[in-house]
């Protein structure tokens, strides 16, 4: 038998199957989708079996045998295998990358070189003998650390030892010591025979008698009995208990949140939406629904009931949320409703925890997965429903290879399983809404809030006016007053600061110089905590200068408003207010996010101040005021989605206020109050916004009227990058059809990152059958030729942004 294997090497000439002989010993168990260890050139690598056959085009003598079968059961189903193939073609990625992205990181191979000593007797070098200490397989690293590399080399040359590659899985199954306590009689006999001075052992025995016959983990036993490990060991040796290692799942800690009551009745709109979805499911149609529901309209309840329906029919469901750790409340609701049938996958889990959740899915122990983007590859084999909540979120697009969009993968999988997909959002992406308008997706609308609450009253504050009136702080008078009222009433406020482009930077007030990163064309961000300037793109760090590097003036100081600055202003304006700040700095620690949110939900603070991360999912009854400190920062990004992003953000943020009994109020501070994205977000007027934005997109030829693909070139040398960008663009122009618009080459919006200059070329097309083929040709030229000069070229089909 011969196996076709995709090997774990991301390189252009390797991106195809290689044939291997299947040793007779494993022919009975080998399956497509299992991983193997194979010799590849002079080393060993991990590979995925994508096919089995009897004959190879190559001569059998050229084939090497598989070294080892790693999985007895396939880790990739045939459905996912085909999907990976599609993914690789569609996103122009290597097949190996498309395969790896489907598995938890813990299953990716880690390679380690190992010294193998066959005949210990042949070793004469004394120092090396001592180092080996009788061992036959030792990591090469250890020899290196002991300075024995030359000795190893000599022995390898003499053929006495060899160097092999060991493939190590990052995390394996977690095991726990389980103690089975003996029966009462045995224990009592033992107790009688124990030495009188072994007080502790007697104590433990007595405890065990009370728990005779039970099985308990060693850790729990020690906690409950208050006995040390050494004592336990002694007692086990005497025969009072037996122990064995048992597989366990790491139980990720779930935040304790207040129970959200299950509403007895659905609103009419909810009921209609649910019926449409379950009907589609019953008819086994791969139908994609766009569930457009304003904030607070109860989309989640529709999801939950649709899932219930699917589970009752013995099928499985995948639920994607933008970044699950951001919405602990959402997770909690799923756990409440479906209990142990739910697996949770999010970035806050350790790689071991993710692996465990993955295994639960694969073994069919759970029926629902709630997770971030990569959960779309959950190894279910009987999917009945796929949900993307907040479908407009750009986090569904992976930023590095394979650059896939979870929405596309979801639809692809639904076609295989003949099941519905729900795309849910209060502010759908223009692409999705346009498709729904054209009937490609089925539109479901929830236009009323579930509990019949009013939408919050939104006030747009013109900050130019404030400035004219002499208010130079970041709080307008109306917002400051509103905060003060909340403090008096004991209600809570959420203050939102648009992070991007709004961090503090250092500016010379004499010559206007802004301190920039020496490696990137971007201003450095001021960090108060350690009085340093940092680059968010390359990580460069330096001290805050005391003099302007340009004019040597001493009037150089930080400017602008990060969350730290905002916190200081709050402290000045409202000294009595208790503030929780949530940004990258305060949430870096594991679990910090949940902790801060819990504190806020328990009323331990009056004001929650944060960035992007607080825009979603927050749902606390006592929040009656939301303030957006500067709405226009996302508006001026050099991206065709800038207005859409702003509208979405404003709507999401406003939706945080007054979701329960108390009425909500929202203040949006801006320097461009007349912009339609801001104006229309006030009353969540999605439809008019959609119309206006579509007109703009049509005029400039952007999605959804055109598809966009971005080709980016980076190089240390400005002249070279311009040159290659020109060559690449010319190639595309020559090979793509006449109707396709090619813009560029142009310098990217951030023209230098990490000392590399960036150029790009934008391809806009309605229908371009030759696109994939042409891009593949371009990539081939790049891989075989241009790459040698130090150029890096990337292709992003339908990018999330075009910086």
Partner DNA sequence: AGCACGCCGACT
Partner DNA sequence: GTCGGCGTGCTC
Exposure on the CB side of residue 535, measured as CA atoms within 13 A: 21
Residue 113 or 285: the one with the smaller Cβ distance to DNA is 113
Catalog residues that contact DNA under the rule CB under 7 A.
9-14, 18-21, 38-43, 56, 58, 62-64, 111, 113, 165
Residue 12 or 700: the one with the smaller Cβ distance to DNA is 12
How many whole angstroms separate alpha carbon 357 and alpha carbon 378?
A: 10
How many whole angstroms separate alpha carbon 99 and alpha carbon 87?
A: 9
Residue 113 or 727: the one with the smaller Cβ distance to DNA is 113
Residue 18 or 600: the one with the smaller Cβ distance to DNA is 18
Rounded least distance, CB 12 to DNA, Å: 6
Rounded least distance, CB 93 to DNA, Å: 13
Give buried/exposed letters for 692-703 (b at 16+ CB in 10 A, else e). bbbeebeeeebb
Residue 164 or 569: the one with the smaller Cβ distance to DNA is 164
Neighbours of 39 (CB within 10 A): 14
Structure tokens of 715?
């190089």
Residue 64 or 175: the one with the smaller Cβ distance to DNA is 64
Under 8 Å between Cβ of 682 and 457: no
Which of 779, 800, 789 is closest to 735 using CA atoms?
Answer: 779
Rounded least distance, CB 114 to DNA, Å: 12
How many whole angstroms separate alpha carbon 5 and alpha carbon 32?
A: 9
How many whole angstroms separate alpha carbon 460 and alpha carbon 478?
A: 10
Rounded least distance, CB 141 to DNA, Å: 13
Residue 58 or 246: the one with the smaller Cβ distance to DNA is 58
Residue 95 or 583: the one with the smaller Cβ distance to DNA is 95
How many whole angstroms separate alpha carbon 29 and alpha carbon 453?
A: 60
Contact residues for 403 (Cβ-Cβ < 8 A; gap 6+): 91, 93, 397, 796, 797, 799
Rounded least distance, CB 51 to DNA, Å: 12
Rounded least distance, CB 154 to DNA, Å: 10
User: DSSP 3-state assignment of 528?
Assistant: coil
First-to-final CA distance of the chain: 50
Structure tokens of 263?
């509403």
β pairing state of 665-670 and 457-462: parallel
Under 8 Å between Cβ of 35 and 122: no
Residue 62 or 588: the one with the smaller Cβ distance to DNA is 62
Rounded least distance, CB 11 to DNA, Å: 3
Structure tokens of 365?
């122990």
Rounded least distance, CB 668 to DNA, Å: 47
Which of 603, 644, 623 is closest to 801 using CA atoms?
Answer: 644
Which of 630, 642, 641 is closest to 671 using CA atoms?
Answer: 630
Residue 20 or 724: the one with the smaller Cβ distance to DNA is 20
Residue 149 or 511: the one with the smaller Cβ distance to DNA is 149
β pairing state of 707-715 and 792-797: antiparallel
Rounded least distance, CB 132 to DNA, Å: 21
How many whole angstroms separate alpha carbon 701 and alpha carbon 705?
A: 6
Rounded least distance, CB 157 to DNA, Å: 11
Q: Which residues contribute to the annotated binding site for Zn(2+)?
A: 508, 511, 517, 520, 535, 538, 548, 551
Residue 23 or 701: the one with the smaller Cβ distance to DNA is 23
Residue 113 or 177: the one with the smaller Cβ distance to DNA is 113
Per-residue DSSP letters for 604-642? S-SEEEESGGGSSS---TTEEEEEES-GGGGTTSSSTTH
How many whole angstroms separate alpha carbon 630 and alpha carbon 561?
A: 10
Rounded least distance, CB 49 to DNA, Å: 13
Phi, psi of 584 (to 5 degrees): -55, -35
Contact residues for 604 (Cβ-Cβ < 8 A; gap 6+): 578, 580
Q: Which residues contribute to the annotated binding site?
A: 508, 511, 517, 520, 535, 538, 548, 551
Residues in the chain: 803
Rounded least distance, CB 65 to DNA, Å: 8
Rounded least distance, CB 71 to DNA, Å: 20
CA distances from 673 to 241, 482, 690, 746 (A): 74, 19, 18, 32
Which of 421, 566, 539 is closest to 479 using CA atoms?
Answer: 566
Structure tokens of 787?
């790459």
Name the one residue in this structure whose structure tokens are 């075989």: 784
Under 8 Å between Cβ of 186 and 128: no
């Amino acid at each position: 038998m011969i196996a076709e294997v995709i090997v774990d090497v991301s390189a252009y000439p390797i991106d195809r199957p290689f044939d291997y002989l299947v040793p007779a010993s494993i022919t009975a168990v080998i399956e497509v989708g299992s991983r193997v260890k194979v010799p590849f050139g002079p080393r060993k690598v991990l590979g995925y079996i994508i096919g089995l056959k009897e004959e190879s085009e190559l001569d059998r003598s050229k084939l090497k045998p598989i070294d080892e079968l790693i999985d007895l059961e396939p880790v990739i189903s045939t459905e996912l295998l085909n999907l990976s193939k599609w993914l690789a073609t569609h996103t122009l990625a290597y097949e190996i990358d498309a395969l790896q992205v489907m598995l938890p990181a813990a299953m990716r191979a880690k390679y380690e070189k190992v010294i193998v000593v066959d005949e210990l007797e042949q070793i004469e070098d004394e120092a090396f003998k001592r180092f080996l200490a009788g061992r036959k397989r030792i990591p090469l690293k250890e020899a290196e650390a002991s300075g024995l590399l030359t000795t190893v080399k000599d022995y390898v040359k003499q053929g006495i030892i060899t160097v092999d590659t060991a493939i190590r899985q990052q995390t394996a199954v977690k095991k726990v010591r389980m103690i089975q306590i003996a029966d009462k009689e045995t224990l009592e006999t033992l107790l009688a025979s124990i030495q009188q001075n072994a007080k502790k052992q007697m104590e433990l025995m007595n405890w065990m008698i009370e728990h005779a016959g039970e099985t308990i983990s060693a850790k729990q036993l020690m906690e409950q009995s208050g006995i040390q490990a050494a004592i336990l060991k002694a007692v086990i040796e005497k025969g009072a208990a037996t122990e064995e290692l048992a597989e366990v799942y790491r139980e990720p800690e779930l935040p304790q949140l207040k129970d959200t009551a299950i509403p007895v009745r659905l609103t009419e709109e909810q009921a209609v939406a649910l019926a449409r979805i379950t009907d589609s499911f019953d008819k086994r149609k791969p139908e994609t629904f766009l569930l457009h529901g304003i904030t607070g309209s109860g989309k989640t309840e529709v999801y939950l009931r649709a899932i219930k329906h699917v589970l009752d029919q013995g099928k499985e469901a995948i639920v994607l949320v933008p970044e699950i750790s951001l919405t602990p409340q959402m997770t909690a609701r799923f756990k409440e409703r479906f209990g142990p049938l739910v697996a949770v996958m999010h970035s806050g889990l350790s790689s071991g925890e993710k692996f465990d959740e993955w295994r639960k899915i694969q073994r069919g122990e759970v029926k629902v997965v709630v997770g971030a983007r990569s959960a779309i590859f959950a190894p279910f084999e009987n999917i009945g429903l796929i949900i993307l909540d907040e479908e407009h979120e750009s986090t569904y697009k992976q930023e590095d290879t394979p650059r896939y969009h979870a929405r596309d993968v979801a639809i692809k999988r639904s076609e295989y399983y003949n099941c519905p997909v729900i795309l849910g959002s209060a502010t759908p992406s223009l692409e999705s809404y346009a498709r729904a308008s054209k009937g490609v997706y089925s539109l479901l609308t929830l236009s009323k809030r579930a509990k019949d609450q009013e939408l919050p009253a939104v006030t747009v504050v013109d900050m130019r006016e404030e400035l004219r009136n002499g208010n130079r702080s970041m709080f307008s008078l109306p917002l400051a007053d509103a905060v003060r009222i909340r403090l008096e009433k004991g209600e809570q406020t959420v203050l939102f600061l648009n992070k991007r482009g709004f961090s503090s930077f250092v500016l010379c007030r004499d010559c206007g110089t802004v301190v920039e990163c020496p490696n990137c064309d971007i201003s450095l961000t001021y960090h108060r905590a350690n009085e340093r300037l940092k680059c968010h793109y390359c990580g460069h760090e330096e001290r805050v200068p005391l003099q302007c590097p340009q004019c040597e003036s001493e009037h150089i100081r930080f400017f602008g408003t990060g969350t730290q600055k905002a916190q200081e202003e709050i402290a000045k304006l409202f000294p009595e207010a208790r503030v929780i700040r949530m940004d990258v700095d305060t949430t870096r620690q594991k679990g910090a996010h949940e902790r801060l949110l819990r504190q806020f939900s328990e009323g331990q603070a009056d004001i929650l101040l944060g960035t992007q991360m607080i825009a979603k999912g927050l749902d606390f009854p006592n929040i009656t005021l939301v303030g957006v400190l500067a709405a226009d920062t996302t508006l001026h990004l050099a991206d065709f989605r800038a207005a859409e992003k702003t509208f979405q953000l404003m709507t999401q943020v406003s939706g945080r206020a007054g979701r329960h009994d108390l009425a909500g109020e929202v203040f949006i501070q801006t320097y461009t109050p007349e912009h339609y994205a801001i104006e229309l977000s006030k009353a969540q007027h999605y439809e008019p916004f959609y119309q206006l934005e579509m007109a703009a997109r049509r005029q400039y030829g952007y999605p959804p009227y055109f598809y966009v693909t971005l080709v980016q070139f980076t190089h240390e040398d400005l002249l070279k990058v311009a040159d290659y960008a020109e060559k690449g663009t010319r190639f595309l122009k020559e090979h793509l059809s006449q109707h396709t618009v090619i813009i560029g080459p142009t310098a990217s919006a951030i023209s230098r990152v990490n000392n590399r200059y960036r150029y790009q070329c934008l391809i806009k097309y309605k229908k371009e059958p030759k696109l994939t083929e042409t891009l593949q040709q371009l990539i081939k030229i790049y891989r075989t030729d241009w790459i040698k000069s130090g150029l890096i070229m990337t292709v992003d089909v339908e990018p999330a942004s075009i910086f």
